[in-house]
Amino acid sequence: MGHKKVRNHSQKRRTKADTVVDVALADFADANVPRGSGRVRKSKSNLPLGPPIEDEGEDDDIDTVLAQKADSLSLKTESNAAVEDNSNDVGLLLADELWILLSEYMRPQDVLNFSLICKSSYRIVNSPLFWIKLYKRYYSTKVYVPTFLKKHCLERHLGLKAKVVRSLYYTYPPYHESLRRPVFQLTGLIGYRCELMWVQRARDKETNNTSQTEPTVEKWIYSFKLSCRPDHSYHNPQSKRKTKQDIINHNPDDTCRLLEVICKEYVDPKFVVGMKLRKANIEDRCVQLKFSSAPLSRFGTDFGAIDIYLNAVQPPSIYAWWHPHFYNQRF
């Protein structure tokens, strides 16, 4: 019996009618002369029929989408070109050496405006060299300056800016003359927390034309150091490493004010450290200060409030951290 040839039907159906074959370049004019009988391949002859075109509305939609994309691209190119043109017209970028030279002629009251010009001027203002030159520009041996504000204070950069600003209220005439205008508004201290309080006895001499002796009059100075720092800063101190800029601008008393009340008679004040000032009033030279550690209720009653009444000789004084009376021997 002869051997019967068995065909593999899986190999016979290599191409399916539902497959789509890409048309290659070799099937057209640039193709080589086909080898064999020149019959069209079954993969090309059995291509599936595509879906019919429903209507011409889709072509219109495609045209509108393409037009919108073209418009958006043209707008982007125009905006980029406008930005490039504007960037060229902004101005010249000056070198840091020029800003350093200009900083040597800045007045103390113009330092803020100078730092807001650009990044280079801001970086120069936050450098220790700027504040050291500003200190030496107005320092004079003929003018009294406290010991902690002498030239040796410039050796340490911690709090350098605050030291120079305090020294300018001794050496710079416009700043020194501004100290003659005291501040008496107690309402601005409402909500401040009392961080420290103390009492000091002072003696003043009275002039008497009839007698040669000048009797001394005792006065009592009541001082309250108040701060408006937020409450969370007391419980969560910053433990991160300070940068060079933070070291120069370090000033723990930046938010503090000193309230001074001078009285003729001694009154034992109550301990109010840690409490907030809720009320401050002056009537017939009687200073009333109300402190409370509890927040204000909606009904207007303060639970556990402490009232302090002081018969002042003169209106109370308020000093900021840069004032010479804020840092003296009694403090």
**Alpha-carbon span 140 to 171, nearest angstrom:** 7
- The model's pTM is 0.63
**Alpha-carbon span 286 to 216, nearest angstrom:** 23
Q: Which one-letter DSSP state was computed for residue 108?
A: G
Residue type, 4: K
Where are the strands (E) in 179-270, listed by range?
193-205, 216-227, 256-263
Percentages (nearest 5) of helix, strand, coil residues in the chain: 35, 20, 45
Tens place of pLDDT for every residue, the chain, 331 residues?
555 555 555 554 554 444 455 666 566 656 565 565 556 666 666 656 555 555 555 555 666 766 665 666 555 555 555 545 554 555 566 677 888 888 888 899 999 998 898 888 898 899 898 999 999 999 888 888 888 888 888 888 888 999 999 999 999 988 988 888 777 678 888 889 999 999 988 866 554 444 455 567 788 999 999 998 876 565 555 556 778 778 888 888 888 999 999 888 888 888 899 889 888 888 878 888 989 887 655 445 666 788 889 888 888 889 999 998 887 644 4
Q: Which residue has the tokens 């409370």?
A: 292
**Alpha-carbon span 79 to 140, nearest angstrom:** 57
Whether the CB-CB separation of 290 and 229 falls below 8 Å is answered with: no
**Within a 10 A sphere around the Cβ of 319, how many other Cβ atoms?**
20
**Alpha-carbon span 209 to 204, nearest angstrom:** 16
